[in-house]
Every structure is written in structure tokens, then in C-alpha cells.
Amino acid sequence: MSPNESSEELTSLIHVPTETEAAPIVDALKEAGITATMTGGFTAGFIAEAPGDISIQIFKRDEAAATEILKKFKADNAAIDWDKVDVGEPEDE
């Protein structure tokens, strides 16, 4: 984050349950030139009364563009039929 960005207001774009779900969204935003980060990863993995979540944070100025990228990301990924995707065999532990 640059010195100019440090004084700008952040906003939460979306909350997801895991870092595995958050990482591709953050990557898609970054590929589009939007500074994005995820917070809450440390607590999201806890098993507790109040479940944690991951918040994807962006600068308020990027909210409109980020929202459009998120819509496209969701639409692109909704079309994946995971029953037909070969993810390989599980590794022996």
C-alpha cells in the first residue's frame, strides 16, 4: 500500500467463509488493477460459537468497478460443472 493509499477509506466488498474462496476473488480484482486484500483469515479457521469469515477489502473509490468484476467472476464460476472436472486422485497422507 502506498503512502497516498494509507489515508483512503477501505470498504468490504464481500464476505466468504474461507481463504480458499477469497483468494481467487482477490486475484481477479488485482488482475483488473484493483488493490484488494483479505482480512479475518486467522479467525475463520477457528471452531467456535461465532464462526469467522474472510472479508475482502478494497478502496471505496474502486467499489463500482470491483462490484462489476465480482459479478463477472461469480457468473464465470457458476458455469463450472464440478462433477465433470478431473481434479486428480487424492494424495496419500
pLDDT in tens, 9-19: 999 999 998 88
Would you tell me the crossing angle of helices 19-31 and 63-78 to the nearest 10 degrees?
120
Q: How confident is the model at residue 20 (pLDDT cuts 50, 70, 90)?
A: confident
pTM above 0.75, yes or no: no
What is residue 51's predicted lDDT score, i.e. its pLDDT? 59
Please state the three-class secondary structure of 14-64 as a single string: EEECCHHHHHHHHHHHHHCCCCEEEECHHHHCCCCCCCCCEEEEEEHHHHH
Delineate the domains of the chain, giving CATH numbers in brackets. Answer: 5-72 (3.30.70)
pLDDT tens profile 25-45:
999 999 999 999 999 866 545
Residue range 35-63: mean pLDDT, rounded: 78
